[in-house]
Structure 1
Amino acid sequence: MGRASLLQRLTASAENLDAAELQEKVGKRSCMPVCDLRRGNRVKVVGRLCAVVYTPSETVPTLQAELFDGTESLDLVWLGQRRIPGIEPGRRVLAYGRVGEHDGRLAIYNPWYELLAPGS
């Protein structure tokens, strides 16, 4: 690690360091950065869940999780689910699916997912 790199790490905010670490995982797992996603693409993404919200509805209840990969975030949306064990804020997740839209934001509906161990 060079002197400039060390100085950058020492003076960077925790939020910026976390984002940089998450971006590293995207490349290591051959995933697509969220900032590059387009509707209709089949993708593999990895990141940390920032928020998980259950929305009751008369038609179809949904569980929605915001996944942040260090560049941007997208929503993972499970239709008809109230709770999924392991889907909780702070958890790292690898998800696969087709990019769509939910409430004006990029989303993957009913993604195939893998819960990752801390630090992976």
Structure 2
Amino acid sequence: MTPKRGSWTSKFRCATLGVWFAFGGQSSFWVHLPVAVAVIVMAAWLDVSPAKWAILILAIGGVLTAELLNSSIELLVSVLHPQHHPRIGQALDVAAGAVLVMSLAAVAVGLIVLLPPLCGRMFGF
């Protein structure tokens, strides 16, 4: 039985397909994914607190969300205005900049959360 359009099941299915498309068809995700996995593995190895896990998960989620939004803008532009236009190029640059800003913030979060316990483990601090 196919869920009716507009139902929560249909919305969840569409959202899941969007995430799978992004992971499968957008090369930028393959930059963020290994970093996210490395952060998760390191946080588990360092046995960080639940509050620090929450902060790391929010940072990872923020980067992936920014990348999803950037990818959706790129896809819309490619359909609605396939020819080059300077203003559209600027809009795409701004969207990519949002990913960069979120990624740099996530790096800062990762260093703040993971560096002290890592130094403690490696150097006995």
Judging by fraction of residues, say which structure has more strand: 1
- Confirm or deny a common fold (TM above 0.5): no
Structure with larger Rg: 2
TM-score, normalization: structure 2? 0.24
Judging by fraction of residues, say which structure has more helix: 2
TM-score, normalization: structure 1? 0.25
- Higher RCO by CA contacts (8 Å cutoff, separation 6 or greater): 2
